[in-house]
Each structure stands twice: as C-alpha cells, then as structure tokens.
C-alpha cells in the first residue's frame, strides 16, 4: 500500500519538532512518550504519537519515534525515526 502523502508531510514536520531538543535536555526524561491530537497540512484530524527511547543502552544515543495516524487506522499511519547522538563529554 502506498504511503499517504498528507500523513507523510505531517510526520516529516513532527519529527523535526521532536528532535529540536538537545541530548542533554532530553536525557533526564528518557524513556518518555505521549500521544496527542493535531492536524495534517491538509487539515485532517490525526493522532501524533511521539516516543523517546535509548537506542542501544541507557545514556547512549536517543531514538526518536513519531507516528502519525487517523484514530481508526493506526496500521495505515506513517512512522519516522531519527537518532539524537549522545553529547561528547
């Protein structure tokens, strides 16, 4: 099945926001996640799921996951994943 371009655009925007904080700001709160309602660029109501997890080991890189989906269709949602590298000390 082809990806929904509107959901993809919303996920692209949200992953940028989700990665805006630096490692030092996020590390005290990992693991953490939430789900909230928002709108796609085309104006559809969707759910945004955001999670921050340790990628390999605690205090290492932080894996950021964003999933955007319509409430009735999680399986057709779009997921973006990025890493925030651990700050050198």
DSSP class of residue 23? H
Convert the pLDDT of each residue in 48-87 to its tens digit. Answer: 999 999 999 999 999 999 999 999 999 999 999 999 999 7
DSSP class of residue 41? T
The structure's pTM equals: 0.90
pLDDT for position 1? 47
φ, ψ at 59 (rounded to 5°): 75, 10
**Span 8-19, mean pLDDT?**
97
* 38 in Cβ contact with 66 (< 8 Å): no
pLDDT for position 87? 77
pLDDT for position 50? 97
User: Counting beta carbons within 10 angstroms of the beta carbon of residue 40, is it exposed (0 to 12), middle (13 to 18) or buried (19 or more)?
Assistant: buried
Ramachandran area for residue 26 (φ above 0: left; ψ -120 to 50: alpha; else beta)? alpha
């Amino acid at each position: 099945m082809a990806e929904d371009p509107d959901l993809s655009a919303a996920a692209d925007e949200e992953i940028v926001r989700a990665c805006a904080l630096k490692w030092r700001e996020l590390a005290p709160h990992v693991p953490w996640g939430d789900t909230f309602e928002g709108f796609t660029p085309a104006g559809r109501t969707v759910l945004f799921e955001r999670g921050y997890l340790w990628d390999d080991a605690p205090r290492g890189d932080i894996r950021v996951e964003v999933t955007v989906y319509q409430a009735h269709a999680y399986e057709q949602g779009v997921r973006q994943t990025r890493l925030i590298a651990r700050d050198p000390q």
